[in-house]
Amino acid sequence: MAVASRLDTGKAFARVILPTLAKGVVQRRRPVTALAGKVRVDAAAVATMKRFRERYGPEPLRLRVTGRSIALLLDPLDVARLLAESPEPFALATTEKKAALEHFQPHGVLISTGAERERRRAVNEDVLRPDKVDVRAIVADEADLLLRHVRGTGRLTWDSFAQAWWRAARRIVLGSFAREDVELTDMLQTLRGNANWAYLHPRREALRQRFESRLREHLARGEPGSLAGLGSVDELLGQVPHWLFAFDAAGIATMRALAIGGAGEAGIWESVRLWPTTPVILRESTEPTRWHGTWLPERTTFIVFVPYFHRDPDRLPYADAYAPENWPAPSDPGLVPFSGGPGICPGRDLVLVAGGAMLDALRDHLAVPTLRAPLPATLNHFELTFVTRRDD
């Protein structure tokens, strides 16, 4: 199995890994996201990955890092294997993820292991089902109010969209009583900002506890018609911080889908293919594993840099175009916007229904699409603005 030269290891960090971290994996940083678009970091990262594959072949590429074993995946079939064989021997709960997510969700399934993980995963699968709550009605309601505002100002901006989206998210997850609790999601945002820094930022335990007790109050109401009504308070308390956090990605995906003229659930799928909101999927092996005849040691970190697999024109003729016909069952095993295998995103159906409903409610009233193929590698959602249609 190939080992990257020192120079190429440096390039993997400088052009692929660090720029992705700089944008903020847990909470997007606005200025860095803007800069990333201007200097085209995503295009450079995909080009770097392509060169690695040409130079070293399709097998996982080991990076030359002292004291650690790190492998960069370069082949879609290896991605499929890594995800299929999670959480054992390829654990979702990696050292880096734990350091980041403990800031706001110390009991989340994503950083849990063993029997605890199994139990928490079952809670997620059981509750995160769009058929249990009338997601479409909640979203339609909030979209309606948003449209009234949009007609008044003549435009839809990220900030106005985000306000409506968070109202819908709080209603879906916690019930209508929580609709206006902006402070709750603001507290979460601060904690997520710290999580970006993983171990480099001290944990703010007092703020986390304040957030948690506020969340507990909402969950204790168990409001019918919301996810909070579908499980026990103690079980949900550990999982809901991730849900609220992840609704952010779903909103970002929805705005981007609008920009490309996307429709319905396939529009959301394509949005997260073109601009994956989880750009890096990490796994850590719990035992030595064999790859194409070579053994990699226990505790190897495996990196899947998703934009490379979603945007490679050599493999995907539609790489930079809107191609909704790919979904829901893509033929390429490297298309993994929601991950795959036993650790696949348990919220994806909810995302598709909520995002798709919001998209369809808004698109008829706005002048879209604003972007056409070849679609850019980076799309800064903070700067997206849509004007209302003349006939609206």
Q: What is the binding site for ligand HEM (CB under 6 A)?
A: 92, 109-110, 121, 124, 128, 242-243, 246-247, 249-250, 253, 272, 277-278, 281-282, 337-339, 343, 345-347, 350-351
- In the bound state with ligand HEM, the residue whose beta carbon lies nearer, of 11 and 363, is 363
Minimum distance, C-beta of residue 302 to ligand HEM, in the bound complex (Å): 11
Query: Which helix (DSSP H) or strand (DSSP E) does residue 60 occupy?
Result: none
Q: Which residue has the tokens 């819908």?
A: 168
In angstroms, give the least distance from the CB of 391 to ligand HEM. Answer: 31
Using an 8 Å Cβ cutoff, are 192 and 25 in contact? no
Question: Which stretch of DSSP H or E encloses residue 87?
Answer: none
Closest to ligand HEM by CB, 170 vs 363, is 170
Decide if 198 contacts 96 (C-beta within 8 A).
yes
- Whole-angstrom CA distances from 383 to 34, 38, 209, 216, 333 are 8, 12, 33, 35, 32
Nearer to ligand HEM by Cβ, of 212 and 265: the residue is: 265
Asked if residue 328 has a cis previous peptide bond (ω within 30° of 0), the answer is yes
Q: Which residues have a Cβ under 8 Å from the Cβ of 234 and sit 6 or more positions away?
A: none
DSSP lists the bridge partners of residue 283 as 302
Pick 4 or 92: Cβ nearer ligand HEM: 92
CA distance 19 to 33: 10
Nearer to ligand HEM, 4 or 127 (CB): 127
- Closest-CB residue for ligand HEM? 347
92/187 with CB nearer ligand HEM: 92
89 preceded by a cis bond (ω within 30 of 0):
yes
Pairing of strands 155-157, 301-305: unpaired
Q: What is the closest distance, in whole angstroms, from the C-beta atom of residue 66 to ligand HEM in the complex?
A: 26
Q: How far is the CB of 392 from ligand HEM (least distance, A)?
A: 27
From the CB of 128, what's the least distance to ligand HEM, in Å? 5
Closest contact distance (angstroms) between CB of 86 and ligand HEM is: 7
Please confirm whether the linkage preceding 376 is cis (ω < 30° from 0): no
Least distance between ligand HEM and beta carbon 174 (Å): 12
Q: Please state the φ and ψ torsions of residue 386, each to the nearest 5 degrees.
A: -125, 140
E-only strand ranges, 130-204: 155-157
Helices (H), the chain: 6-11, 18-23, 30-38, 41-56, 76-84, 95-101, 114-127, 135-153, 158-174, 182-195, 205-221, 233-259, 264-274, 306-310, 348-363
Show the beta-strand stretches assigned E in 154-227: 155-157
Residue 156 or 253 with smaller CB distance to ligand HEM: 253
Alpha-carbon distance of 388 to 392, in angstroms, equals 7
CB of 22 to ligand HEM, least distance (A): 19
The residue with tokens 């705005």 is 255
Minimum distance between the CB of residue 246 and ligand HEM, rounded to whole angstroms? 3
Q: Considering the complex, state which of residue 8 and residue 284 has its C-beta at the smaller distance from ligand HEM.
A: 284
Shortest Å, Cβ 352 to ligand HEM: 9
User: Token digits for 218?
Assistant: 């909402």
Nearer to ligand HEM, 37 or 337 (CB): 337
User: What phi and psi, each to the nearest 5 degrees, are found at residue 78?
Assistant: -70, -35
Distance CA 371, CA 258 (A): 9
Amino acid identity for residue 211 in this structure? F
Integer Cα distance of 19 and 26 in angstroms: 14
Between 118 and 186, name the residue whose CB sits nearer to ligand HEM: 118
